[in-house]
Chains A and B, each alone.
Chain A
Amino acid sequence: MSTILVATEIRQGELKSINLEVFTAAVKIAKEINLTTTALLSGKNAASLAEIPAKYGIEHTVVVEDAKLEKYSPDCYAAAIAEVARQKDAKVILMGATYTGKDLMSRAAQILDTALAQDCTAYRAEGGALRFTRPMYAGKVRAEVRVASAPVMATFRAKTFKPEENPVAAKVEKLQLNLPEPLTVLEAIETAAAGKLDVSEADLIVSGGRGMKDPNTPEGKENWANLEKLAELIGAATGCSRPVSDDGWRSHDEHIGQTGKTVSPMLYISCAMSGAIQHLAGMSSSKCIVAINKDPEAPIFKAADYGIVGDIAQVLPAMIEEVKKLKARD
């Protein structure tokens, strides 16, 4: 029987949450359009992770280990996806829309001469055909698209689905593939400070704008320290607007928006940001948005579920106190 193939991304020897989210999506879609499910794990650590997909309901797991996959190269990894898709008669190929996922799936689509619906936030199955929703124009419109060739390919934005455990018996198969010579060589991976959660992977984000003030001033220092304290209390990652990272107040990897990272966490707390259209582009698909701004006319309030008009220097400490009280009762 034909299958849905889920291509995965192994980072630091781990399958990050986004892969599990796509497993869950694949299991749901497979039921609706009557296909089996297959996960593809390739690379050095693949075999050690082979039991994981079945925990999320994926019936078959294909492991590809090859000297050419020892280090990541987009062309070789894409060739692996395309080749496994052919061998397993994949009718649908899915992957998480990380930077690497988007790149790899574009390449695999080119090899398989089909089309790719990129960075989707929903799907719909109707009469056996899949339709995907994807934000365009930085989220100002949503398009519904269909892939009119086979296989149907799509990447899903992080946090579109919640991983659901749904254990089945693992059927693991090792495949030997005939792969091309890699065209690029991965020399090194530099990761951000250990233990720091990237905004693109976070369920909760506390984010600060220019109204937080320069951290080199006493007032700014206090505000940013409070923001970090709140983030730590609720287990959130910290983010910021573009001028904040441009001025070096915060590191570039925290920059959210049209020219930075796109996030859709469960909770986005926006502190002293105006809510410019280019910033909203990166966070307006968050499930719940709290805005704190001293200006009641700030556009961010239009995007917010909960708005507090007030000075950040007072509101943040009050929030910290409230959350502490709440946690003390847990």
Chain B
Amino acid sequence: MNIAVCIKQTPDTTTRVKIADNGKSIMEEGISWIVNPYDEYAIEEALQLTEKHGGEVTIISLGPAGIEKTIREALAMGAHKAIRIHADNIPADPAVTAKALAETLKSGGYDLIFMGRQAVDDDHGQMPALISQALNLPGVSMVVKLTIEGNKGTALREIEGGHEKVSFNLPAVIGANRHLNVPRYRSLKGIMQAKKIPIEVKQAPLTAEKLLLEKMEYPPAKQSGKIFATGVEAVPEVVRLLREEAKVI
């Protein structure tokens, strides 16, 4: 099987996000970068499939040269090849990223294209749908279970209050959700091997962004703990306030 996994570099989820002076982006100093956590489920699933059926896993990521460190972290899980699509910045409009990724994916002859259900930085959750639509391939997002037999796939997809069972023909695009698998730890051997894998750099023309980010702000701070009391004695007052002040019960 020839499998592509699109990954994105995101800040560690414990990062204290600070807004930059331009008021439109975050300060990148001091951030530790990781492979977007959902993308690890995508990589793991791809690796398990090639371990079973043979084939290769190619990691694809769009961004500046700085993301190559994160690409190597993805490779260290056991992937075989890597492509970086060069962009000076990761676009703010996911549609722009999708078009560039689709261009590269189109010529790769992949049986399956995996990605995370959403990136934990911008939380768009658009990429699997955009790529599937752009390539006119079957696409399933929010996948928690996947079975591949021959050129047919079946996926369990999370919805509010349940799951959908969906079948499709390969090639297809899969958006990986938690519970799809348990991503493996990177072994020392994997980390050493990843250093030797060349990262192919491709150029892609980026289209103009149509989703414009004009301003970033911190959410208003809660005037925390209107009542902050100790022990069961506090309960009657809190319940009264929930009814009379907050009007929620």
Contacts and interface: CB of A to CB of B under 8 A. Distances in A.
Q: Do they bind each other?
A: yes
A130 B141 CA distance: 28
B13 A278 contact: yes
B228 to A, nearest CB: 4
B242 to A, nearest CB: 7
Nearest to A330: B243
Interface residues of A, number: 89
A135 interface: yes
How large, as a class, is the contact surface on chain B? 35 or more
Contact of A109 (B95, B142, B165, B234): B95
Interface in A116-146: 116-119, 131, 134-146
B123 A135 contact: yes
Interface string B209-220: 111111111110
Nearest to B215: A144
B87 interface: no
Nearest to B235: A318
A143 B160 contact: no
A304 B224 contact: yes
Interface stretch (B49-57, B66-74, B106-114, B131-139): B131-139
B139 to A, nearest CB: 7
A175 to B, nearest CB: 22
Among A106, A119, A187, the one with the most B-chain Cβ atoms within 10 Å of its Cβ is A106
Interface in B195-249: 209-219, 222, 224-232, 234-236, 238-239, 241-243, 246, 248-249
A319 interface: yes
Contacts of A137: 11, 15, 17, 26, 120-123
A306 B166 contact: no
B225 A304 contact: yes
Given A184-B139, A288-B242, A110 B129 contact: yes
Contact of A305 (B17, B128, B225): B225
A75 interface: yes
B130 interface: yes
A114 B207 CA distance: 12
B238 A192 contact: no
Interface in B68-126: 93-95, 98, 120-126
A142 B161 contact: no
Contacts of B127: 106
Among A98, A149, A192, the one with the most B-chain Cβ atoms within 10 Å of its Cβ is A149
A190 B162 contact: yes
A49 interface: no
Contacts of A277: 13-14
Interface in B2-46: 11, 13-17, 19, 26, 37-38
Nearest to A111: B133
Contacts of B235: 308, 315, 318-319, 322
23 contacts: A11-B160, A99-B160, A106-B133, A107-B129, A109-B130, A110-B98, A115-B95, A136-B123, A141-B17, A141-B218, A144-B216, A145-B212, A147-B212, A148-B210, A187-B166, A259-B37, A260-B178, A267-B242, A277-B14, A303-B224, A307-B229, A310-B230, A315-B232
Q: Which 9 A-B pairs have the closest CB atoms?
A: A106-B129, A198-B161, A115-B210, A191-B162, A115-B211, A183-B138, A106-B126, A267-B248, A322-B239
Given A99-B142, A319-B235, 9 more contacts: A99-B158, A106-B127, A144-B213, A144-B215, A148-B211, A185-B168, A287-B246, A304-B222, A322-B239
Interface of A: 11, 72, 74-75, 78, 98-100, 102-104, 106-107, 109-111, 114-119, 131, 134-149, 183-192, 196, 198, 200-201, 204, 234, 252-253, 258-261, 266-267, 277-278, 284-285, 287-290, 296, 301-310, 314-315, 318-319, 322-323, 326
Interface of B: 11, 13-17, 19, 26, 37-38, 93-95, 98, 120-130, 132-134, 136-142, 154, 157-169, 178-179, 209-219, 222, 224-232, 234-236, 238-239, 241-243, 246, 248-249
